């Protein structure tokens, strides 16, 4: 079933129910709303700007954009880029693209102008929809883009090098364009996180997107009454595919612009959210704020909050232990996936398996998994190998990159590049990224294991372990450590703490600094290697 049929169903079945809410605490005064269908509601607290739309309006806005695109000659197979911050407009634009058989191409809002240009060319984007935050970046490219591409601006005061999305779509038909679609039709191009250089373009069809809906709902049991708090950027598969579980059953979602602990807790409280997906740093910040007295849980109505789940990166077991101390009634799950496997859910822990915290779980709904050696043969249980997944959500290919596709897609299996092992109960544990393994004196070190250990130290807020070049050992492990606010910690304290680790696993270098993460929460290790790799060589005497 093409994913657009779910939207049509929700509009027919739940037309007057609220589909999406936008909350933006950073806006001091409400913006003018130009679309008459949108209802502007006074915020419950100062600075909380709020909009909402029903399923009917959601569907009508998608249909209007679809008809506009058709009127401009955009057809099935054409690519439409989306460069917007989270907001009410984002998802109707996305589905309007899909409704005519065109491909939606979400772009990372952190991309610099040259990265935008690279992605526009790689994905062969012919229409680019962008918001006010990106005027400068798009203007620098407008001369080249305007030659053969349509630039549509969402917001007030449209720049002269673009056309106004609001004005152009306001009077377009709101009926379904009724373009025939199949599961096999291409639907979207997502870009990889780009932590290893310029990102790859990942092609998915409608079957992939619809399967993501089914997977998320099967894992977390969303009902029409659940309210999903969506914080991560919608351009990434992680945020949108978790929302897909609510989308499948017509549940309401709240799009929150803000990640600070008080903002997240206030949104859960005021909007009566029942499900929240967090990244590790955000969960860490909430716990730190509670423990430092910066927020008081008694100030919020949180009794309806039933599920907190985490994905996008390995989850330290110590974090979940702390979380359950303050939120003992929460269900918890972790999800594993890649943009190449349409985001989360290829493996998941399961809310019933809290005793296995630290694992990423077992193959998810409709998925298969295996762990293989360098020759592609399954490894023995307990041995480390590369994790592979197979299912309806595996990408079609890397767009226009058959060589890269052949490296990761083999007989329908997606080779993830993640090193993993399976325990006697069949639960899979991530060990590390294949390319992040540190080989020191002939021994393999898996940074995730060392990072999990260091994060259990009370003063440590975040940590990244990378390999640095060494003349004698080849590489040594260096720990970049971020200390909690208001806490002091010395290198001697950390070294003493690490004495319980096997000697070969102990970092040889400690660097107290911020740990950079991308918008999906992944540590930007290539950036750290670039910063520290050449300037922090360890003398031979420190390696003994």
The tens digit of pLDDT for each residue in 230-281 reads 998 899 887 788 999 999 999 999 999 888 999 999 999 999 999 999 887 7
Distance of CA 506 to the CA centre of its chain: 31
**pLDDT at position 443, please?**
65
Band of pLDDT at residue 32, cut at 50, 70 and 90: very low
Closest alpha carbon to 314 in 353, 349, 363: 349
Closest alpha carbon to 43 in 22, 18, 57: 22
Specify the higher pLDDT residue, 474 or 250.
250
**pLDDT at position 377, please?**
95
- The three-state secondary structure class of 200 is coil
Residue 42 has pLDDT above 50, yes or no: no
**pLDDT at position 222, please?**
96
Mean pLDDT over 426-454 rounds to: 79
The position carrying tokens 């594993």 is: 336
- What residue ranges define each of the domains in the chain, with the CATH number in brackets? 4-258 (3.40.50.12780), 306-433 (2.30.38.10), 439-543 (3.30.300.30)
The tens digit of pLDDT for each residue in 88-124 reads 999 999 999 999 999 999 998 878 888 899 999 999 9
Count CB neighbours of 513 within 10 A: 13
Closest alpha carbon to 290 in 310, 268, 316, 262: 262
Which pair of structure tokens corresponds to residue 327?
Answer: 């939120």
The position carrying tokens 């929700």 is: 10
Residue 282 has pLDDT above 80, yes or no: yes
Q: With the CA atoms of 19, 207, 519 and 84 taken in that order, what torsion angle do they form, in degrees rounded to the nearest 10?
A: -60
Residue 464 has pLDDT above 50, yes or no: yes
Count CB neighbours of 301 within 10 A: 13
Mean pLDDT over 48-62 rounds to: 94
Q: β-pairing, 368-372 with 443-445?
A: unpaired
Count CB neighbours of 29 within 10 A: 7
Residues ≥6 apart with Cβ < 8 Å to 495: 506, 510
**pLDDT at position 526, please?**
78
Residue 162 has pLDDT above 60, yes or no: yes
The position carrying tokens 């955000």 is: 282
Residue 388 has pLDDT above 70, yes or no: yes
Which pair of structure tokens corresponds to residue 524?
Answer: 């930007």
Phi, psi (deg, nearest 5) at residue 429: -115, 130
Residue 73 has pLDDT above 80, yes or no: yes
Distance, CA of 214 to CA of 347 (rounded, Å): 14
Which pair of structure tokens corresponds to residue 420?
Answer: 């993993």
Number of alpha helices (DSSP H) and beta strands (DSSP E) in the chain: 15, 28
**pLDDT at position 236, please?**
84
**pLDDT at position 239, please?**
78
Mean pLDDT over 372-400 rounds to: 95
Distance, CA of 491 to CA of 511 (rounded, Å): 9
**pLDDT at position 442, please?**
57
- Contact yes or no for 217/241 (Cβ under 8 A): no
Specify the higher pLDDT residue, 195 or 356.
356
């Amino acid at each position: 079933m093409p994913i657009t049929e779910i939207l049509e169903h929700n509009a027919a079945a739940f037309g007057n129910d609220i589909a999406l809410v936008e909350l933006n605490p950073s806006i001091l005064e409400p913006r003018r709303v130009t679309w008459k269908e949108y209802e502007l509601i006074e915020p419950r607290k100062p600075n909380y700007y709020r909009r909402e739309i029903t399923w009917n309006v959601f569907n009508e806005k998608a249909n209007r954009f679809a008809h506009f695109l058709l009127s401009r000659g955009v057809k099935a197979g054409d690519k439409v880029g989306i460069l917007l911050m989270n907001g009410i407009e984002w998802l109707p634009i996305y589905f309007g693209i899909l409704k005519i058989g065109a491909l939606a191409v979400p772009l990372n809002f952190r991309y610099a102008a040259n990265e935008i240009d690279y992605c526009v060319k790689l994905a062969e984007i012919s229409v680019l929809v962008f918001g006010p935050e990106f005027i400068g970046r798009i203007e620098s490219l407008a001369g080249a883009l305007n030659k053969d591409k349509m630039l549509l601006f969402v917001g007030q005061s449209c720049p002269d090098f673009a056309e106004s999305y609001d004005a152009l779509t306001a009077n377009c038909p709101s009926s379904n364009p009724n373009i025939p679609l199949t599961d096999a039709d291409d639907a979207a191009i997502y870009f990889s996180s780009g932590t290893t250089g310029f990102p790859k373009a990942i092609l998915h069809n409608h079957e992939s997107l619809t399967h993501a809906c089914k997977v998320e709902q099967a894992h977390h049991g969303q009902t029409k009454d659940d309210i999903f708090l969506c914080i991560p950027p919608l351009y990434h598969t992680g945020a949108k595919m978790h929302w897909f579980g609510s989308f499948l059953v017509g549940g309401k979602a709240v799009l929150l612009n803000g990640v600070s602990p008080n903002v997240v807790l206030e949104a859960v409280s005021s909007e009566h959210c029942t499900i929240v997906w967090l990244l590790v740093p955000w969960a860490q910040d909430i716990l730190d704020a509670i423990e430092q007295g910066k927020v008081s849980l008694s100030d919020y109505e949180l009794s309806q909050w039933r599920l907190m789940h985490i994905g996008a990166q390995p989850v330290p077991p110590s974090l979940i232990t702390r979380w359950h101390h303050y939120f003992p009634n929460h269900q918890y799950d972790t999800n594993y996936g890649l943009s190449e496997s349409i985001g989360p859910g290829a493996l998941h822990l399961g809310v019933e398996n809290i005793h296995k915290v630290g694992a990423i779980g077992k193959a998810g709904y409709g998925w298969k998994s295996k762990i293989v050696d360098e020759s592609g043969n399954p490894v023995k249980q307990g041995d480390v190998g590369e994790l592979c997944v197979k299912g309806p959500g595996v990408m079609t290919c890397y767009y226009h990159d058959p060589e890269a596709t052949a490296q990761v897609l083999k007989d329908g299996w997606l080779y993830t590049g993640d090193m993993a092992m399976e325990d006697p109960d069949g639960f899979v544990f991530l060990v590390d990224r294949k390319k992040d393994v540190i080989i020191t004196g002939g021994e393999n070190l898996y940074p995730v294991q060392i990072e999990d250990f260091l994060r259990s130290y009370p003063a440590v807020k975040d940590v990244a372990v990378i390999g640095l070049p060494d003349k004698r050992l080849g590489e040594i492990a260096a720990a970049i450590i971020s200390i909690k606010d208001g806490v002091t910690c010395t290198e001697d304290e950390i070294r003493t703490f690490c004495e319980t680790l096997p000697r070969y696993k102990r970092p040889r270098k400690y660097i107290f600094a911020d740990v950079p993460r991308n918008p999906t929460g992944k540590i930007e290790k290539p950036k750290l290697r670039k910063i520290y790799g050449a300037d922090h060589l360890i003398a031979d005497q420190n390696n003994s």
